[in-house]
Structure 1
Amino acid sequence: MQPSVTRENFDQWIVPTYAPASFVPVKAEGSTLWDQEGKSYIDFAGGIAVNALGHAHPDLQLALQQQATLLWHTGNGYTNEPILRLAKQLVDATFADRAFFCNSGAEANEAALKLARKVAMDNGHQDKNEIVAFKNAFHGRTLFTVSAGGQPAYSKDFAPLPQGIHHAVFNDLTSAAALINDQTCAVIVEPVQGEGGVVPAEPAFLRGLRELCDKHGALLIFDEVQTGVGRSGSLYAYMHYGVTPDVLTTAKALGGGFPMGAMLTTENLAAHLNVGSHGTTYGGNPLAGAVGGKVMELINRPEVLAGVAERHQWFVEGLNAINQRLQLFSEIRGLGLLIGCVLNQDFSGKAKQINLAAAQEGLMVLIAGASVVRFAPSLIITRQEVEEGLLRFERACRAVTEGASV
């Protein structure tokens, strides 16, 4: 018999890098979860844009169960059928010719940045090692990726940081052009800054980055860890913008809840990561490949991608109606089912308070900075779940606007 555990045990046994909610979810289905007490929660957080098909999707369960009876893990000295099939799905569906599999978005970005530096080195440009990223970006928590992310709060305590990384202003092409030069090996950008406040890139900005990279021989890396696998309403957001990167990173929704990531790139660039130059023990294991393959099969369908745009409208219309009544948000922005509600000046800094109030009402939401409430729900969330979740969200917002203690 399993010993009982509580939320308090987290504070006793777990390294305190997180401050999790006061409740402990124990089961879930679709976009509804239940905690240890049986209380239900509508999930607008999606495991931070991971659960693109909701919880306990029967087809994903079956894919995992079937593979679990066959082959779990061999290490990177061997390949396996599920990961080869997933690689074929990804290269067939995107600009890429090759895939490198890993376990997370941070690892995918780490691989992309290492690739950029190695390409320059292999081509005889030892001084071409600088990376241009953007303020308020988020690319992961490894030392390299947290340095590329433009949020000093996440990196300042780990100095000295990797050098040669410069940060321009997002959506400001003049700022980027001032930093991109012939010593730049890569520009890394999120098509929508997620952690930075759910800020979509302007199309002209991404087009301009493509031109600057071409001019200076730098790789353009799109971090699509959060925007990829249907979240934008296109399979990948670069398709929405019509700007093709040299390297794309993907994770989160790719595994539908099973940890996995990938770096996608072209034949010529992939050749620089030759045998022994990079690797990962768990990356590309058969369980991840089986689940990821089923995720891609289910999401990369016209009706599912079109449904993202439809659900975006459900949310925006509902949120605008709430805002008319409460006058809480200065802007509702985002792309597809990555939506940010920007608190107005009267409620600036209270996103976490709304997050806590939502949990009390039986709703899971995210924040993106101190003043943005973020939604990243399942791409197939039902209208009933959206409507019930927005009712709970309005009650939470009203509690905050009326000054109730949370």
Structure 2
Amino acid sequence: MLRAVSVRQARGVVSGRSCKNLIGSLRSFSKIVSQVDASDDSQTGKFVNTVSKPYAVTTYARPNLVLTHGKGSILYDLENRQYIDFSSGIAVTCLGHANEELAQVINDQTSKLLHCSNLFYNLPAGELANKLVSKTRDSGAMKDAQRVFLCNSGTEANEAALKFARKYGKTINESKIEIITFKNSFHGRTMGALSVTPNPKYQAPFSPLIPSIQVADTEDINSVAKVISKEKTCAVIIEPIQGEGGINIVNEKFLVELRKLCDENDVLLIFDEIQCGLSRSGKLWAHSTLNESVNPDILTMAKALGNGFPIGATMITDKVESALQVGDHGTTYGGNPLAARIGNFVLDKLTEESFLQGVNEKSEIFKTSLDKIAKKYPDHVLAVKGKGLLLGLQLNNSVDSTAVVNKCRENGLVVITAGLNVVRIVPALNIPNELISKGLDILDHSLKQVIESST
């Protein structure tokens, strides 16, 4: 009974006050008003404690906040409160919430065909694979891109990449199975992807993981040279810009030398651009601006490709394809007509020249203001990091990034953390400039509050 009542209450709020608020003008945010997380006896608290929390598997530590809907770069909760969104669902909703054009695309495709399995071809999946390859080549990235495996998430895209690499290595010799990964990297939470995510916090509870993994350092090419082997290594996996690990841009010279080592040892180079790709860096791919010799053999993607709908992809060269046979890999849902149709729409938007120009212009607005914040608090801010709209404010140990994130939420701004005590900023790529300015004012104010409370 508690469950039924709580669900009806939640629906009532969504269809009542909140929807009226959407139709009306957005809150100006001109005055920062603290709105602490809802109490246990609030409508939100009752929903969380009686409907959701007792029945949901333990994953994230979440505040008493139930999001009900959004529009563009504004989110709304069960208490009818509004938040500027600098997180875009962890770098996912690149075109913003409730995008009207995308809603029309979804409605049209659901009236035609949702699913047909990969036992048959379907139009949207074929078009998306073709488009990903052609647009990638046109962008100046991955010049030998040729084939695409469509799946449902980033970790699945990386699992496919690791399997393809292992298969390639074993076609040369049975012992060529080792994979090199890097400190501060994050590639997913399934067993294969977790095995190349060398963070004890994530790995320790599930060890032993997949064997034959070597860990190197993106600050030291010799650390790669020491563990790479023509006889044993099949692949190197790296993020050109590390997201979860702290918004760390990998040096171009390092990547040039890494590509050279891979070529010398007949090792596949995998670029994980699940977070930094698909125009978030200001180019279609983060490696688009690198030396033309720095091209991967395998490229993984997800997040922004579906603007919130689950989809991922693994792009490979013909060299990798030549090692694969029918039955080596597969998926039930991957490349379903709905996900692929969404991917086609999103990719078209993200590759428009005017759209990419807008991403870079918005990036400059962010970086200019973040630099001012860093100069304002020189004893507490170590660096402004990142590229495009994958940005971070790295704090020193005197300020806890989680505390800043929590204070921002109280003040009406959603941001998230990353490794190395970083406040991560990954908004929708089309976020209005006015909301950028207002959100940064809230970040500045919130950081000041946390600093003052800790002294």
From 85, 90, 105, the counterpart of 1:48: 90
Displacement after TM superposition at 1:346 (Å): 2.5
Partner of 1:105: 154
1:340 is matched with which residue? 392
Q: What is the distance in 2 between the residues matched to 1:318 and 1:276? A: 52
Q: Distance in 2 between matches of 1:26 and 1:44?
A: 17
Q: Is 1:3 aligned to residue 8 of structure 2?
A: yes
Match of 2:341 among 290, 295, 303: 290
Corresponding residue for 2:211?
Answer: 163
The aligned runs of 1:39-118 (5 Å cut-off) are 39-94=81-136, 95=142, 96-118=145-167
TM-score, with structure 2 as normaliser: 0.86
| Match of residue 228 from structure 2 | 180
Task: Give the letter for the 2:450 counterpart.
Answer: V
Query: Aligned pairs, how many?
Result: 402
| Secondary structure of the structure 2 residue equivalent to 1:334 | strand
Give runs of aligned pairs for residues 96-245 of structure 1, distance below 5 A: 96-123=145-172, 125-182=173-230, 183-242=232-291, 243-245=294-296
Deviation at 1:228, TM superposition (A): 1.0
Identify unmatched segments of 5+ residues in structure 2: 11-46, 137-141
Which amino acid in structure 2 is aligned with residue 379 of structure 1? L
* Structure (1 or 2) with the larger CA radius of gyration: 2
Q: TM-score, normalised by structure 1?
A: 0.96
The one-letter code matched in structure 1 to 2:151 is C
Q: Is contact 1:43-1:363 (8 Å) kept?
A: yes
Q: Deviations over 1:179-234 (max 9, x none)?
A: 11111100000001111100000000111110000000000000000011100111
223-232 or 316-325, which moves further after superposition?
316-325
Provide Cα deviations, 1:46-99, integer angstroms capped at 9, x if missing partner.
Answer: 111111111111221111111010000112212211111111110101231110
Q: What SS does the corresponding residue of 2:237 show, helix, strand or coil?
A: strand
Given that residues 397 and 421 in structure 2 are in contact (C-alpha distance below 8 angstroms), is that contact kept between their aligned partners in structure 1? no
User: Which residue is equivalent to 1:399?
Assistant: 449
Q: Which residue of 2 aligns with 1:387?
A: 437
CA RMSD of aligned residues (A): 1.5
The 8 Å contact of residues 133 and 167 in structure 1, kept in 2 or not, is answered as yes
- Give the Cα separation in 1 of the matches to 2:374 and 2:286: 28
Match of 1:17 among 55, 59, 64: 59
Aligned AA (2:175) = D
The percent identity for this pair of structures is 42
Matched letter for residue 136 of structure 1: N
Q: Is it true that 1:262 corresponds to 2:313 in the alignment?
A: yes
- In 1, Cα distance between equivalents of 2:271 and 2:323: 19
Amino acid corresponding to residue 126 of structure 1 in structure 2: E
- In the aligned structure 1, how far is the partner of 2:77 from the partner of 2:336? 31
- In 2: Cα distance, 1:371 partner to 1:118 partner: 38
SS across alignment from 2:394? strand
State the distance in 2 between where 1:58 and 1:149 align: 37
User: Is the partner of 1:113 in helix, strand or coil?
Assistant: helix
1:121-144 Cα distance to aligned partner (Å, 9 max, x none): 123x11111000001110000111
Whether the 8 Å CA contact 1:143–1:161 is kept in 2: the answer is yes
For 1:109 and 1:376, the matched residues in 2 are separated by 21
